[in-house]
Amino acid sequence: MNDLDPLSYFLGIAVTCHVSGLFLSQSTYARDILARTGMALCNPSATPVDTKQKFSSSSGTRCEDATLYWSLASALQYLTFTRPDISYVQQVCLQMHAPHTEHMLALKRVLRYARDTLTNGLHLYPSSIEKLVSYTDANWGMS
């Protein structure tokens, strides 16, 4: 067994150690997604979601390139590991069976938001909890 030095990069996630904990970031991965979709220089968005928009699986026109939609939705879903602020992608992923143009536009809005927030990530701090406490319902299967 070898000591491979402190963790710095693993599965597309950059790990930065600091005094109070760890910072996990996928900014390189996000840049790759933006470059792959041709949105590296797109106009940024201040929010990842349009709160007025409601999805429907039957309205609008079908997405022209469903494969691109699936690829983009999957890539953004992986990005949520360190970016809980874009967890809205899960709602868009529910439409993968029959994507429409409005669903693709929602994914592109998340991309525009990701471009504006490339330096965001997840801060992990040590916990003050010293023991694990769990609860269970012993009668769960009996009712």
* Sign of the dihedral defined by the CA atoms of residues 89, 91, 97, 103, in that order: negative
CA 46/CA 131 separation, integer angstroms: 40
- Global pTM exceeds 0.85: no
Reported as type and span, the H/E element at residue 29 is: helix 27-36
- pLDDT at site 113: 94
Q: How would DSSP label each residue in 64-121? A: S-HHHHHHHHHHHHHHTTT-GGGTTHHHHHTTTTS-BHHHHHHHHHHHHHHHHTTT--
> In sequence order, what are the residues at sequence separation of 6 or more whose Cβ sits closer than 8 angstroms to the Cβ of residue 58?
none
List 22's β-bridge partners, or say none.
17, 124
List 10's β-bridge partners, or say none.
13
CA 92/CA 104 separation, integer angstroms: 8
Q: Which has the closest alpha carbon to 45: 36, 60, 34?
A: 34
Q: What is the pLDDT along the chain (143 residues), one digit of tens a residue?
A: 787 787 888 888 999 998 899 999 999 999 999 999 999 998 988 888 877 777 666 667 888 888 898 999 999 999 999 999 998 888 888 888 888 888 888 899 999 999 999 999 999 998 888 888 888 776 666 65
